[in-house]
Amino acid sequence: MKLLAALSWFWAVTAASAALQVVNLKCESTVDPLGVDAATPRLSWQVRDDDAAARGSRQTAWQVLVATSPAQLEAERGDLWDSGRVTSEETTWIAYAGRALTSSQRVFWKVRAWDAAGKPTPWSAPAQWTMGVLRSEDWRARWIEAAPSAEGALFRREFAVKPGLTRAVLHVTGLGQYEAFLNGAKVGADLLAPGWTDYRDTVLYNTHDVTAQLAAGANAIGLALGRGMYYVERKDNRFAKFTSNYGELRAIAQLRLEYADGTVEFVGTDDDWRTHPGPITWSSAYGGEDYDARRLPENWSRAGAKADGWSPVKRATAPLGALRGLSFANEPLRAQETRDPVSVRPLADGAVLFDFGQNTSFMPRLTVSGPAGVTVRLVPGEVVKADGSIERGTMGGAHRGSAWWQYTKATDGAETWFPQFYYVGSRYLRAELIPAASGGVAPKIDRLQMVIVRAAAAAAGEFATSNPLLNRIRGLVRWAQASNLVSILTDCPHREKLGWIEQFHLNGPAIRHEFDVTRTYAKAMRDMAEAQLPDGLVPNIAPEYVEFKGAFRNAAEWGAAFLLVPWQQRDFTGDDSLLRDNYPAMQRYFAFLESRAEHDILSDGLGDWYDYELNSGKRANLTPAPITATAFLFEDARSLARTAALLGQSDAAAHYAKRAEEIRRAYIAKFRRADGLYGTASQASLCIPLALGLVEERDRPAVLAALIQDVEAKGYATAGDIGFRYLLLALAQAGRDDVIYRLINQDEKPGYGYQLKLGATALTESWHASLGASHNHFMLGQITEWFYQRVAGIAPDPERPGFAHAIIRPQPVGDLTWAEATQRTLRGDFRVRWEREAIAAGPATSAGKFRLHVVVPANATATIHLPTREASAVRESGVPLAQAVGVKFVRTEGDRAVIEVVSGVYSFEAPW
């Protein structure tokens, strides 16, 4: 309430700008989305003030118009919804409240706002969204499959389009994966569609506006299918993490044709479709893809193609999972960047090694010459041996087989090929050149490129400092984050490709600072909810494609994601729907954990996974599972208490708060030692209870001192997957960012710098970059959270979530002389840059001047904790704080001046 009162004072004294405008309209957090299947879509926008001198620009009211046509919208007639003037500062997650929408409907909308002076803005530029298929009976299509079944089957149908076509919309999916074609051209830019789900619960479909791909007269539609996660087998030394078989490959598609005279026609998958074996002779999410171009029927997805070899399709049984569209999916996978190799090395055995200089998730683009029938096999690798062969140790082990793409030419001319159904994370490609017959002419690679592939989540942040090593560490982590950002958050992009859910919460803030993963995390929650068992267990991976045993399926440190991810979503985006929608399921999971605990001590866990000690191999196992599992049992109870309070369930909130306190007491009784330390006194044993508030207050100084002593004495982190984030949090909470800085600002001992020194280009699974562990793993990437929230100092305020209010608290640590960051939010961009200037020629830590530049977007506010040794001498844009517009000095906290600001651009200078 004090904060709200202070902000009300700010708004009252700050003049509004005349330049306010409404921009960046989104539906379901997406610009102009296709396939929305939420009955009441949620709308968001930003208000922006292009006057750089403006402060306190804000929205006081809004109006949304939603119309059936651009003409209606242009005439300011919201024939679907006219909200009228709504008094509110809110710009995010506004629920559509108009007329009922129908399947495939395209709607148009725009927004205007009123500023602080009550003046309306101009209307925004128009935006639109397209609905998906809202009811099962609206599907004018049947599931089809090949008969007999065929690897990589093709499907096609010809159809006629009448003159006067105004719009064509395609709803389509194929299992395991598919690509759609119209008149010889691929539909859309999506790759590896549909997104991975548990196909027993959800099957995702995609929606495309294909009007431009059709013409009056004869047309043809085609579908190509691959296996993906739907069907995984082990075959001929091809790698597979597990095997699965959800059934025969199958597809469903519905093309809606709208004409100027108001008529509508449908072309759906039915008995009129034909099928043919395709050029893909084998595909797997793990083992690769084999493509024989000689098997591709000529012009197969064009009208007038030869009918030879095509047979009727078979009606397929619908999969168990419900068909769901964009509102249940994250961003599609798309090509992000194309790279040429940095070096090409002929090898003694006739193969050629291509080094692309970066370990990332990708698919190759190959141009090859040579006689028909020659083959190129492309074997990916993260690390290569001296002879140019692939080191399989980081990608699952040679004993489990290998993975590759294989292309066989159809003609004697040059051919270019891009795969359809397999991606991998690697840096190298070993090209094996195979003649059509023994002793024959080998193929020649004219060009080989790396096409970087990931989910098309927008970049959310930028970060840099005066320390090149920190900048490289940020890049190391970001590459691993990006490589594992597909239709789920995978652990690694090669040997497992599984959604291990502990990463969802432990790395949640870190990845949110770098990418807009709003939809990714909403899907992750649905995946976890669908994976939940009848007894309440939330398994360690979601979707649960493979059932592991024991703690590899039931670990409290992993399952905590189900309760903690929704709060992170709320903090960063303001969206509390994940809490509201999943609260009963969260309660069931907590009840399951309680049933497994003995006297409130829980042993179902994996401990501090991938912790490290010198000469320990992959894992040191320094912290027993009950220490970590019980800590998360406590955190789960505390989270449920907050959730119940948010939902207005006061009795439940009190119950869970009581349970949290009971678990805390049990934890202390069990793990507190006579010397006041906890557990084994490993870094994880100390930092987790310290950060979570499980340590007795009288013990905190000793626990903190022991933690610092261990970190400083070793010079590296022993804390692993579970403990490292809490190591950072515990030290930061104590104001000991200097310890963190020394820990990471070195390359002689295991850690980020050490990995870089060994040549890593993406974060590895183990602190010491073991060749038995993955070399593209974002598991230990929590340092990014510290970079943004501590070094640069930009963090969301849980009291006003979604960056309605931000906490700006920069940490001029170590020998840094400057740092800067940008955080893109639903409300706009926050920017921070600080610099410190030493007096005369003294070191950077000497007394001098500290300058802080802050940008707060319109309709947002911030609390700034400014480092200074003399609060009364702080200036903003050259004037004392008392004279600065939109600025209010609140108090002094230690060596910080606490200042509250409204939106605007600020430049502070303070004695340092």
pLDDT in tens, 475-517: 999 999 999 999 999 999 999 999 999 999 999 999 999 999 9
The pLDDT of 370-399, averaged and rounded, is 94
Which pLDDT does position 1 carry in this prediction?
38
Whether pLDDT at 463 is above 60 = yes
State residue 553's pLDDT score.
98
Q: Is it the case that residue 4 has pLDDT exceeding 60?
A: no
Q: If pLDDT is split at 50, 70 and 90, which confidence band does 615 have?
A: confident
The pLDDT value given to residue 769: 94
Q: Name the token pair of 644.
A: 């119940």
Checking 566-571 for CB contacts under 8 A at 24+ apart, the result is 566/525, 566/643, 567/639, 567/642, 567/643, 567/798, 568/505, 568/508, 568/509, 568/512, 568/521, 569/518, 569/521, 569/522, 569/525, 570/798, 570/801, 570/802, 571/796, 571/798, 571/801, 571/802
Q: Cβ neighbours of residue 71 under 8 Å, at least 6 residues apart?
A: none
- CATH number listed for the domain at residues 461-792: 1.50.10.10
618/319 Cα distance (integer angstroms): 41
Q: How confident is the model at residue 151 (pLDDT cuts 50, 70, 90)?
A: confident
Which pairing describes strands 375-381 and 424-434: parallel, antiparallel, or unpaired?
Answer: antiparallel
Report the distance separating Cα 904 and Cα 861, nearest Å: 9
pLDDT value at residue 401: 86
DSSP codes joined into one string, 460-485:
-EEEEES-HHHHHHHHHHHHHHHHTB
pTM of the predicted model as reported, rounded to 2 decimal places: 0.96
- DSSP lists the bridge partners of residue 221 as 157, 182
Decide yes or no: CATH 3.30.70.270 for domain 2-131: no
Report pLDDT for 620: 76
If one compares 614 and 802, the residue with the highest pLDDT of the two is 802
Can you tell me the distance from the alpha carbon of 756 to that of 472, in angstroms, rounded to the nearest whole number?
A: 8
Q: Where are the domains of the chain?
A: 2-131, 139-330, 334-455, 461-792, 795-911
CATH number at 334-455? 2.60.120.260
Tens of pLDDT, residue by residue over 122-138, are 999 999 999 999 999 99
Token pair 């469903």 is at which residue?
Answer: 252
Q: Is the dihedral of CA 7, 11, 12, 15 positive or negative?
A: positive
Q: What is the mean pLDDT of residues 637-666?
A: 99
Q: Which burial class, exposed, middle or buried, applies to 477 when counting CB atoms under 10 A from its CB (0-12, 13-18, 19+)? A: buried
The residue with greater pLDDT, 355 or 397, is 355
Lowest-confidence pick of 145-149, 161-165, 236-240, 420-424: 145-149
Tell which residue, 160, 424, 196, has the closest CA to residue 288: 424
In the predicted structure, residue 6 carries a pLDDT above the cut 50:
no
| Average of per-residue pLDDT across 265-279 | 97
Give the pair of three-digit tokens for residue 74. Answer: 């242009």
pLDDT at 724: 99
pLDDT score, position 329: 96
Q: Give the pLDDT confidence of 21-48 residue by residue, as tens digits.
A: 999 999 999 999 999 999 999 999 999 9
* Res 178: pLDDT: 98
Q: From CA 783, how far away is CA 510, in angstroms rounded?
A: 7
Q: What is the pLDDT of residues 301-327, one digit of tens each?
A: 999 999 999 999 999 999 999 999 999
Tell me the per-residue pLDDT of 826-857, one tens digit each, with 9 for 90 and over.
999 999 999 998 655 555 545 689 999 999 99
Asked if the domains at 139-330 and 334-455 fall in one CATH topology, the answer is yes
pLDDT tops 60 at residue 5: no
Q: What is the per-residue pLDDT across 193-231, written as a single tens digit (0 to 9) for each?
A: 999 999 999 999 999 999 999 999 999 999 999 999 999
235 secondary structure, DSSP code: B
Q: Which residue has the tokens 């395209």?
A: 106
Return the pLDDT at 777.
98
The per-residue pLDDT for 354 is 99
**CA distances for 316 relative to 136, 322, 323, angstroms:** 16, 15, 15
Architecture of domain 795-911: Sandwich (2.60)
pLDDT, mean of residues 563-586 = 99
Closest C-alpha among 693, 554, 564, 562 to residue 625: 554
Q: Is the CATH number 1.20.59.10 carried by domain 139-330?
A: no
Residues whose CB is less than 8 angstroms from the CB of residue 545 and which lie 6 or more positions away in sequence, other chains included: 198, 229, 232, 242, 244, 498
Per-residue pLDDT tens for 879-912? 999 999 999 999 999 999 999 999 999 999 999 8
How confident is the model over 742-770, as a mean pLDDT? 97
* One-letter identity of residue 99: R
Residue 101, pLDDT above cutoff 70? yes
Q: Is the pLDDT reported for residue 557 higher than 50?
A: yes
Burial class of residue 293 (count of CB atoms within 10 Å of its CB; 0-12, 13-18, 19+): middle
Distance CA 591, CA 562 (A): 13
Torsion angle of C-alpha atoms 645, 649, 651, 657, degrees rounded to 10: -30
